[in-house]
C-alpha cells in the first residue's frame, strides 16, 4: 500500500512539472507552454539589454559598440551547438510522446554528455578565434581592443551557456517550460546587480559586463542541472549514466546537426552584414548594435511559440495524433506572426525614444531609427519563416529549413550585400537585406508547408521507433 502511495505521489509530481501535449485543448497547451518561455526569454533579453544600456551610459559609445555589436559573432560560434540541442529536444519529445521512458533516458544522458563536450570545445574556440574574426569583420581599430576583451571573457564562460541550453531543451521537451523561467529570472537579476557593481561602481567597462554575464550564466546552468539531478520524473539525470550511447548519439546528430548548421549559416551571413556595418564606423556599430537589442524583444513571441510548436509537433506525431499536430501548427504560426507584427508597428512609432535609452548621440540614434523603420513592418515574414521551420524541425524534417535558410538567409543575403552596397554605398542598403531575404524564404516555406505530407514523416522513417538502445 505504501509503495502504491509513493508511486501515485511520484506520478502526480511528474504531471505537475511536465506537460503532455497529446491530450487536452490545443490552444491551452500551447499557451501554457509558450508563456513561461516568453517570460524567460523576456528576462534574458532584459539582462542582455541591461548590459548595453549600463555600458553605454557609464562607459561611452565605443564601449556600447563593442558589447552590442558582439551579438552576431557570439551567436555564430554558439548557434551550431545550440541548434544541436534543439535537435536533441525533438528526439526527447518524441519518446516522451510515445511513453518510451527507457529510450528517453538514453536520449537525455547522451545529450548531457554531448553538451558538456561541446561546451569545453566552444570555450576554447571562442577564446582563440574571436580576435581573428573581429579583424576579418573590419572592426574599427578604436573599438577592436574593447571587443576582444569582451568576447574573450564571455567565451571563458561559454561552457555554462551551452550546458544551460542543453538542460533547458531537455525540460522543454517534456513540457516543463516553467522551471527554466524561474532560473532565468533569478540569473537576470544576478546579471544586472553585477553589471551595476562592476561597470557602474568599479568602472570596469566591457570587462565588467562580460564577467557579470558569465556569472549569471553559470548560476542558471548550475540550477538547471541540479534540477535534473533531483527530479523524480522521466527527465531525471544520474551522474553515472551520463555517457555517449552510439545509436542515440547518431539520432541526435541526425536531427540536431541540420538545426545547428541552420543557426550557423544565418549567423555567418549576419557576421558578413555586421562587417559591412562596421565599415561605416563606430556610430553605425553602436546604432545597429542597439537596434539588435531592441529587435530581440520582437523575437520573444517568435521564440516562445516556435518552441511550443516544435515540442507539440514532436510529442503528437510520436503519439500519431496527426490532426492535432496540423491544428497546432496553424495556431502557433498565426500567434507568432500576429504578435511579432504588432510589436513591429509599435516600435515603428516609438523607435527614437527607445534608442535614446542606450545613447543620446544624435548620429547613433538616427542610424538605429533608420534600421528599425526599414525592417520592423516586415516582422510577420520573419515569424512565419521561423514558425514553419519549427514545424518541420518537430516533424523530423530539419534539413528542409536548413537548406531554405542556406539559400535565402545566407547565399542570397550575402550576394545582395556584396552587390548592392557597391552600387548604393549607404547604410540603408544594408538594412533592406533582411526584409528581402525574409520574404523570399516565406515563399519557399509556404509552398513546402502546403505541398508536403510532413505529418507522416516519422512513420516513413520508422527506425526511430525500433532503434535498439543500451
C-alpha cell at 205: 567597462
What φ, ψ does residue 237 adopt, rounded to 5°? -110, 135
- Rounded-to-integer distance, Cα 119 and Cα 63, Å: 27
List, as one string, the DSSP characters of 406-445: IIIIIIIHHHHHHHHHHHS-SHHHHHTHHHHHHHHHHHHH
Collect all residues with Cβ–Cβ distance below 8 Å to 391 and sequence separation of at least 6: 309, 310, 313, 329, 332, 333, 449, 454
**Residue carrying C-alpha cell 551551452:** 162
Burial track 327-352 (b if 16+ CB lie within 10 A, e otherwise): ebbebbbebbbebbbebbeebeeebe
Torsion sign (Cα): 52, 58, 63, 64: positive
- Rounded-to-integer distance, Cα 15 and Cα 46, Å: 31
- Rounded-to-integer distance, Cα 301 and Cα 297, Å: 8
Each residue's pLDDT expressed in tens, for the chain with a length of 470 residues: 444 443 444 444 444 456 777 788 888 888 988 888 888 778 777 766 766 777 777 767 677 666 766 666 777 778 788 878 877 888 888 888 888 888 889 999 999 999 999 999 989 988 888 888 788 777 777 788 888 888 889 898 889 989 998 998 899 888 888 888 888 888 888 988 898 899 888 888 888 888 998 999 899 999 999 999 998 888 899 998 999 988 898 888 888 888 888 777 777 787 788 888 888 888 888 888 888 878 888 888 998 899 899 888 988 888 888 899 999 999 999 999 999 999 999 999 988 888 887 777 888 889 999 999 999 999 999 999 999 999 998 888 888 888 998 899 989 999 999 899 889 989 999 999 999 999 999 999 999 999 888 887 766 554 444 433 33
Collect all residues with Cβ–Cβ distance below 8 Å to 250 and sequence separation of at least 6: none
- Give the three-class secondary structure for 204: coil
C-alpha cell at 388: 514553419
Round the CA-based radius of gyration of the chain to a whole number and report it. Answer: 22
Question: 397 and 455 in contact (C-beta within 8 Å)?
Answer: no
- Would you kindly state where each structural domain of the chain is located, as residue ranges? 25-466
List, as one string, the DSSP characters of 97-156: HHT-HHHHHHHHHHHHHHHHHHHHHHHHHHHHHHHHHHHHTT--TTTHHHHHHHHHHHHH
Residue 289, pLDDT score: 81
C-alpha cell at 159: 561552457
Collect all residues with Cβ–Cβ distance below 8 Å to 152 and sequence separation of at least 6: 126, 127, 130, 131
- Rounded-to-integer distance, Cα 219 and Cα 358, Å: 27
Phi-psi region of 462 (alpha: psi -120 to 50; beta: other; left: phi over 0): left
Q: How many CB atoms lie within 10 A of CB 174?
A: 26
Q: What DSSP character marks residue 18?
A: -
User: Which alpha helices (H) appear in 60-100, and where do they start and end?
Assistant: 61-68, 71-98
- Rounded-to-integer distance, Cα 146 and Cα 199, Å: 14
- Rounded-to-integer distance, Cα 262 and Cα 393, Å: 11
The model's pTM: 0.73
- Rounded-to-integer distance, Cα 425 and Cα 348, Å: 24
Question: 437 and 408 in contact (C-beta within 8 Å)?
Answer: yes
List, as one string, the DSSP characters of 311-364: HHHHHHHHTT-HHHHHHHHHHHHHHHHHHHHHHHHHHHHHHHHHHHTT---HHH
**Cα dihedral: 336, 293, 199, 166 (round 10):** 50
Amino acid at each position: 500500500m505504501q509503495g502504491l502511495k509513493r508511486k501515485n505521489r511520484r506520478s502526480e509530481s511528474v504531471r505537475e512539472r511536465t506537460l503532455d501535449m497529446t491530450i487536452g485543448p490545443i490552444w491551452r497547451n500551447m499557451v501554457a507552454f509558450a508563456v513561461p518561455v516568453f517570460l524567460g526569454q523576456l528576462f534574458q533579453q532584459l539582462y542582455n539589454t541591461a548590459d548595453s544600456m549600463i555600458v553605454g551610459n557609464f562607459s561611452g559609445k565605443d564601449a556600447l559598440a563593442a558589447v552590442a555589436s558582439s551579438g552576431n559573432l557570439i551567436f555564430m560560434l554558439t548557434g551550431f551547438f545550440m541548434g544541436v540541442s534543439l535537435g536533441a529536444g525533438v528526439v526527447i519529445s518524441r519518446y516522451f510522446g510515445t511513453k518510451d521512458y527507457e529510450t528517453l533516458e538514453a536520449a537525455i544522458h547522451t545529450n548531457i554528455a554531448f553538451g558538456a563536450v561541446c561546451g569545453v570545445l566552444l570555450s576554447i574556440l571562442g577564446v582563440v578565434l574571436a580576435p581573428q574574426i573581429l579583424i576579418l569583420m573590419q572592426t574599427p581599430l578604436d573599438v577592436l581592443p574593447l571587443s576582444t576583451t569582451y568576447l574573450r571573457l564571455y567565451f571563458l564562460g561559454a561552457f555554462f551557456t551551452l550546458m544551460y541550453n542543453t538542460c533547458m531543451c531537455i525540460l522543454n521537451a517534456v513540457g516543463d517550460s516553467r522551471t527554466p523561467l524561474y532560473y532565468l529570472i533569478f540569473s537576470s537579476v544576478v546579471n544586472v546587480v553585477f553589471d551595476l557593481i562592476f561597470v557602474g561602481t568599479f568602472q570596469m567597462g566591457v570587462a565588467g559586463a562580460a564577467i557579470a554575464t558569465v556569472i549569471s550564466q553559470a548560476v542558471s546552468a548550475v540550477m538547471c542541472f541540479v534540477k535534473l539531478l533531483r527530479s523524480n520524473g522521466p527527465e531525471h539525470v544520474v551522474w553515472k549514466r551520463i555517457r555517449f550511447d552510439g545509436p542515440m548519439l547518431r539520432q541526435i546528430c541526425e536531427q540536431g546537426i541540420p538545426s545547428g548548421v541552420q543557426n550557423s549559416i544565418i549567423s555567418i551571413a549576419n557576421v558578413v552584414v555586421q562587417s559591412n556595418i562596421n565599415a561605416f564606423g563606430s556610430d553605425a556599430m553602436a546604432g545597429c548594435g542597439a537596434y539588435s537589442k531592441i529587435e530581440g524583444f520582437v523575437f520573444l513571441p517568435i521564440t516562445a511559440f516556435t518552441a511550443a510548436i516544435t515540442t507539440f509537433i514532436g510529442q503528437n506525431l510520436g503519439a500519431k495524433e496527426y490532426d492535432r499536430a496540423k491544428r497546432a501548427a496553424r495556431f502557433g504560426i498565426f500567434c507568432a506572426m500576429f504578435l511579432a507584427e504588432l510589436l513591429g508597428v509599435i516600435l515603428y512609432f516609438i523607435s527614437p525614444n527607445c534608442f535614446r535609452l542606450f545613447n543620446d548621440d544624435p548620429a547613433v540614434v538616427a542610424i538605429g531609427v533608420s534600421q528599425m523603420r526599414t525592417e520592423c513592418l516586415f516582422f510577420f515574414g520573419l515569424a512565419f519563416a521561423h514558425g514553419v521551420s519549427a514545424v518541420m524541425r518537430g516533424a523530423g524534417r530539419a534539413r528542409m529549413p536548413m537548406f531554405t535558410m542556406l539559400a535565402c538567409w545566407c547565399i542570397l543575403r550575402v550576394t545582395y550585400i556584396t552587390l548592392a552596397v557597391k552600387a548604393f554605398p549607404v547604410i540603408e542598403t544594408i538594412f533592406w537585406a533582411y526584409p528581402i531575404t525574409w520574404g523570399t524564404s516565406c515563399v519557399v516555406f509556404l509552398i513546402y508547408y502546403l505541398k508536403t505530407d510532413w505529418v507522416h514523416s516519422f512513420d516513413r522513417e520508422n527506425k526511430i521507433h525500433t532503434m535498439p538502445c543500451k
